[in-house]
Structure 1
């Protein structure tokens, strides 16, 4: 294998990932020289580009940051960090203005004012869209175009980050694998913006290769992880053979569409919020219908009818691909992994517990989302925290860069074994028996050092955090602990602590399902 030390890029800020958080950070840092490392093409394989719902921003008439904060805290089920919520949502106006400077054109009404949409658990219409339900793709196109035109940003495509090089809890470099073999980027300033972990599951709306790489890199470097158990299942993924699953945005229900089972019963009608209840509530309700052998459908015929294709052109095209006309047909849906609330613990500057390592976007855990993300807060957080991390780094000199090297470069990740375990045991509803079964199966994979080791590490953290949380809260539902404990507790652990806890559970007699 060829090994290369990229001396000519030494000391530059390195951003890993080309989703919204990574691109926002790179553009905010301009004209400081930046290296942007992306496993695929620039902006490709990014959940940001697949987002339909848009960006939540409490900046419209009759709305406010305070109301947006209240809705976010309610959805987070007691685990939000109030300071993080206030700070990040309070930056919404600044973030939207920055995106417009970067070339994003938000949808506006005939009067020229922003056109706001409504989504689940929001008390106001505060969702900004771009080109209707193609918001994520349109935002990413604008930012990718701006990055391509920014000479201070060096883009290294089809290069995968495999290890952070750390000495005495200080970053020293980044080891990457690409067509030329192993490449070392000497740097003491890295932003991880690698996205989520949906690829650990068979049913996901995320790019199938996204298995929590940023979390894995940070954890192996010694960073603290937080709230790893909270995996959000979007309730309404289009139930079709396509993989990853296409999304039927919550915004469709925001426009009045309802949910029916195969008996044409509106099974959520008695639930507070009905179809616009928090995502975890809706996902479990749909999961229960499917578990009994039923099916679930979005019915937009009355609410939208012939207007569906104009209001949601992307979803209409996805439905058409599956042989469904949403103006006249019911749309079959099922829950699928959509977003991870946990991740690498960071402060409000994006700093992790490792010196020189910042994390932004879905790979990070700021405390904004708590136990359950409020719809469309994720693109806002990605923008705000990408910019905050960049602004923090801009005030830090690179200083001397120590020589870094890597031994035993890990192989390319293989997901099939881990995906089977996570899909079976770390799903919408969990119990001690399944969680301990997952721990017992994942720990040997992590310790093997083989192709499954890195994705297994991320899934193992989800399992351990989930096993230790003996309650049901937000997106973490336990069939053997259905209650929500009176005192909300957030948990943080390092990789070594996860392994220690895993050994404890892996050597116990397997728990029985309650």
Structure 2
């Protein structure tokens, strides 16, 4: 089978390697170069290193709790059941996870985890270690990557994917395929403040939407609580709080306990909103205090953070760091079954671009790398199986039957489009705090920009088009979900629905 994998992070490279090892002909396409993207930036680690008191069942419970009751249990159980095998595979491919003095794997704890089960490499360089090892494995396997190739569309005939449309080194091209695996990541560049690199512009979601694939849960955008509030966005890993660092307001008070009994180790959505609200009240950044850990521990345990903060003029062993939330991870995406199949025959999605049901309304820390490894391998294995008939991939939990939200028309007199204007609009109205009025304003403005769009020519044009269409779908989904749950916070929320209820899948928005 001729397989095109689009995206070269942990999900894409895992899928490509497994497909190649199964005898398929694999083309690995990446927007930049192999080993770039979000995977090498992941600091926190990978969940699934179970100790003697821990278990996959406990990990599943923590994942479902963090997801605010909206995770799909079968997907979560699939994730945790495969965690040990996928971690063992990463070790076999050359990932050197940190070890204790006795040679055992060193485990850390992060927010909303009941046990220390997070494996790290190089202290806070886990993603970089994984990306390096998988890149080497891809090259050893002889999988020749197509680099600097942006995904601009899917070719679909008779309900079946036939290939991908690319802009390769500025030139339009089409690559035919028997199957396409999307592993393009999320849409962090929708927001003015984000931990995502510049190329994360929602390409996979946008082309899947255009082709008619089902999407869901785009309103669930996770904002990482602690990004350095000085200079370009730089994430301060949640593992720092897991080691004992605390969040302080301008008066030196640990304010997060006002919002949750777990304080700094509460789920990310809770901590991020608490930080944003506190900073707004006192008009100064919140501070992350890790001074109690000492200079030697900080340099050993978090060498990357230690280096970057010192380069920016901070000595975090002596003074707390100013931090702010930033868009970090998309829980929703292209709807898949447990083998990565989408609602278009032959099209698969894995990693952050996919809505597997694992994350519910809020991702548990350090489940993202694990998800990419687990579902990347499962999608590759599913290539050899017949495509199911009469089965609609997607969530297995019950669904709500709420009345659809009204459709705001395009705003008259829409200001000229600029990517920065879109990012600021999304931050202001489709960010940490949302209201119907703000979402309607955002939708009207976005639709005005879409109407005024010219056919894209350059890679930048295509990125802008993708961002606009994913922004429209995200704002519409946020407007339709009138309750507050997980990462989706409505200041004008209606009474909460039962925790297991979900709105219908959005086929196209």
Matched, 1:128 2:151: no
Matched, 1:289 2:278: yes
Distance 1:387 1:281, change over 3 A: same
For residues 168 and 491 of structure 1, the distance between their equivalents in structure 2, rounded to whole angstroms, comes to: 29
Matched-pair contact (CA < 8 Å) for 1:56–1:380:
yes
Number of equivalences: 468
For 2:13 and 2:441, the matched residues in 1 are separated by 39
Aligned residue for 2:2? 12
Name 1:258's counterpart in structure 2: 246
| Structure 1 position 316, deviation (Å) | 0.6
Match of 2:267 in 1: 278
Asked if the contact 1:227–1:491 (Cα under 8 Å) also holds between the matched residues in 2, the reply is: no
Are residues 1:443 and 2:450 paired?
A: no
2:351 to 345, 349, 361: 361
Note closer, same or farther for the CA distance 1:289–1:482 as it changes in structure 2 (3 Å cut): farther
2:368 to 378, 400, 414: 378
Residue of structure 2 aligned with 1:218, choices 193, 208, 233: 208
Aligned-partner Cα distance in 2 for 1:448–1:394 = 44
Structure-1 separation of matches of 2:300 and 2:277: 33
TM-score by length of 1: 0.88
Mapped partners of 1:240, 1:199: distance in 2: 19
Give the aligned CA root-mean-square deviation in angstroms. 1.7
Q: In the TM superposition, what is the alpha-carbon distance from 1:188 to its structure 2 partner? A: 2.6
Task: Give the whole-Å Cα distance in 2 for the aligned partners of 1:136 and 1:454.
Answer: 26
User: Does the CA contact (< 8 Å) of 1:255 and 1:304 recur in 2?
Assistant: no
Q: 8 Å contact 1:52–1:135 — kept in the other structure?
A: yes
CA drift at 1:23: 0.6
Deviation at 1:33, TM superposition (A): 2.0
Gaps of 5+ in 2: 388-416, 455-460
Determine which of 29, 32, 35 is the counterpart of 1:40: 32
Q: Given that residues 293 and 317 in structure 2 are in contact (C-alpha distance below 8 angstroms), is that contact kept between their aligned partners in structure 1?
A: no
**Which residue of 2 is the match for residue 453 of structure 1?**
465
Residues in 2 aligned to 1:182 and 1:211: alpha-carbon distance in whole angstroms? 19
> 2:165 matched to which residue of 1?
175
Distance 2:147 2:228 in 1: 31
Shift of 1:418: 2.4
Gaps of 5+ in 1: 1-10, 398-412, 499-514
Judge conservation of contact 2:28–2:145 (CA < 8 Å) in 1: yes
> Aligned residue for 1:140?
131
| 1:42-88 deviations in Å (ceiling 9; x for gaps) | 121x1111000100005222110110011111111010001111111
* Post-superposition offset of 1:303: 3.1
Asked if the contact 2:219/2:488 (under 8 Å) is kept, the reply is yes
Q: CA deviation at 1:344?
A: 0.5
- 8 A contact 1:220–1:495 mirrored in 2: no
Given that 1:20 and 1:379 are in contact with CA atoms closer than 8 Å, whether structure 2 keeps it comes out as yes
Rounded Cα–Cα distance in structure 2 between residues aligned with 1:492 and 1:485: 14
Does structure 1 residue 51 correspond to structure 2 residue 51? no
Does residue 475 in structure 1 map to residue 466 in structure 2?
A: no
Partner of 1:506: none
| Residue 415 (1) aligns with residue 419 (2) | yes
Structure 1, 267-276 or 215-224: larger mean CA deviation: 267-276
In 2: Cα distance, 1:162 partner to 1:446 partner: 17
